A and B are shown apart, each in its own frame.
Chain A
Amino acid sequence: MAEISFPLPDLGEGLIDATVLEWLVAVGDQVERNQPLVEVETTKSSLELPSPQAGKVLRIHGEPGDTINVGEDLIVFEVPDDTAGIVGTVPKEAAPKRRVRLSANLDED
């Protein structure tokens, strides 16, 4: 297994930090891509941050009320080795599905 960190992203307009309001996931949770992770407040607004990827939550940084700088670790995921550091998702081998049937008269061959 490998670790992937999600640092606090630049939330726009040159803001340099954000304050944790409430964590929406806990250590040990399996989260999906785009699942809301945490509610944070900046000097402009409060907002929910969606997860950039699927994975198991290994560590979270900052209690409610703590301020985190842009670029510092916010949450660390544990992911299988074959997805670590890769842009994209490696597909799992799925059983082939079909809707089209073939029909032919091959007698003349």
Chain B
Amino acid sequence: MENTVVEMSMQKALNRGLDELLTEDPRSMIFGEDVGGLGGVFRITDGLQAKHGSTRVYDTPLAESGILGMSIGLAMAGWHPIPEVQFDGFAYPAINQIVCQLGRMNYRSRGTLPMPVTLRVPSFGGIRAPEMHTESLESLFAHVPGLKVVSPSTPHQAYHLLKKSVLMPDPVMFMEPKSRYWQKGEVDTENPGDLEGSVIAREGRHLTLIAWGAMVARCLQVAELAEEDGISIEVLDLRWLKPIDAAGLAASVSKTKRAVVVHEGPRTAGLGAEVAQLVSESCFGVLKAPVERVTGFDVPYPSGDLEDEYIPNIDRILFGIQRVLEYRRG
């Protein structure tokens, strides 16, 4: 049997996935700021315009509302648009189109106008970037009815989840962890594995760390360190942030009886609150402690020089774990 496992970066995995989508699906189309001639500021669309032509891959004006509005019109006309907003924070000018049109068009039209749009959003922080280049939009997106939200944590997931998202009839907010673009990993192009719901990134016995996007890699580091202290940590990669895999959360935490959820975005009304509630509903009887959150702070994302203090770092996650471990009822 042919070996289909290749080591590549997430950037390469996404680039290859898009290339194959354009080849296999004649209704697919890529557009956004600098995605054509330049190949995107992160090189995700590198070479695609040269190969597939400027009617399939092209630059737009600096107008995200237009990028999303055009996506909606193209989807109505039977296309499968794969728009890009260059950075997470640039999605804000397009929120009206996303919330008022994209998310509800299928519902509004009683299912006659599905919106097979996959919006690629380079997301989260960690690259010393300026303001509006480091936002975590998952709780904003997850709150909008009609949208699906997903964030891959590995090149393998990025390759397969992207292809899956584009072929789905629903609009998908595809949140790429930009600090992980250049980390390499094994991609099995022929065997996607289970792409539904969450996935256990590391098995453990004493506590479940729940994370997504770039925080998964950090939580795996934390689990490795905790092992030195005799604490066995399970890392659950949530992957799909809407809908959330409640059954997967329940299965893991009912075994470990303790949970800490980690995300970069601000704490208040962050997705960690939703995760904690789902865990409480399913595992209330067995939980040894309240679900702990280790998150960003309720302030605008700081300048690059300060971001290591903002994003949950290894010590803050370890502190969160310790608080759960030493919790006693009464």
Contact = CB atoms under 8 A, between A and B. Distances in A.
- A and B together in one complex: yes
Interface of A: 81-82, 84-91, 93, 96-104, 106, 109
Contact of B179 (A87, A91, A99, A109): A91
Interface string B156-192: 0000000000000000000000110111000000000
Contact of A106 (B42, B183, B206): B206
Main secondary structure of the interface of A (DSSP, over half): loop
Given A96-B225, A97-B314, A87 B87 contact: yes
Interface in B190-243: 206, 221-222, 224-226, 229-231
Nearest to A80: B182
A105 to B, nearest CB: 9
B229 A102 contact: yes
Given A88-B128, A109-B257, A100 B319 contact: yes
Given A103-B229, A104-B231, A86 B315 contact: no
Given A100-B319, A104-B325, A90 B182 contact: yes
Contact of A96 (B129, B224, B321): B224
Contacts of A90: 127, 179, 181-182
Interface of B: 9, 11, 38, 41-43, 87, 126-130, 133, 178-179, 181-183, 206, 221-222, 224-226, 229-231, 257, 288, 304, 314-315, 318-319, 321-322, 325-326
B315 A88 contact: no
A34 B22 CA distance: 42
B224 A91 contact: no
A90 B128 CA distance: 8
Contacts of A86: 41-42, 127
Nearest to A103: B229
B264 to A, nearest CB: 14
A32 to B, nearest CB: 14
Nearest to A96: B221
Nearest to A81: B43
A109 B206 contact: yes
Given A85-B41, A88-B127, A109-B206, A99 B315 contact: yes
Interface core residue of A91, A99, A104, A106 (most chain B CB under 10 Å): A104
A100 B129 contact: no
Contacts of A87: 41, 87, 127, 129-130, 133
Contacts of A84: 43
Nearest to A90: B182
A8 B112 CA distance: 55
Nearest to A83: B182
A103 B181 CA distance: 35
Contacts of A104: 206, 230-231, 322, 325-326
User: Most A CB atoms within 10 A — which of B182, B321, B322, B326?
Assistant: B182
14 contacts: A85-B41, A86-B41, A87-B41, A88-B133, A89-B127, A90-B179, A90-B181, A96-B224, A98-B225, A100-B315, A101-B318, A103-B229, A109-B257, A109-B288
A97 B179 CA distance: 18
Contact of B325 (A81, A97, A102): A102
Given A98-B315, A100-B314, 4 more contacts: A98-B314, A99-B315, A101-B318, A106-B231
Contacts of A99: 315
Contacts of B87: 87
A86 B41 CA distance: 5
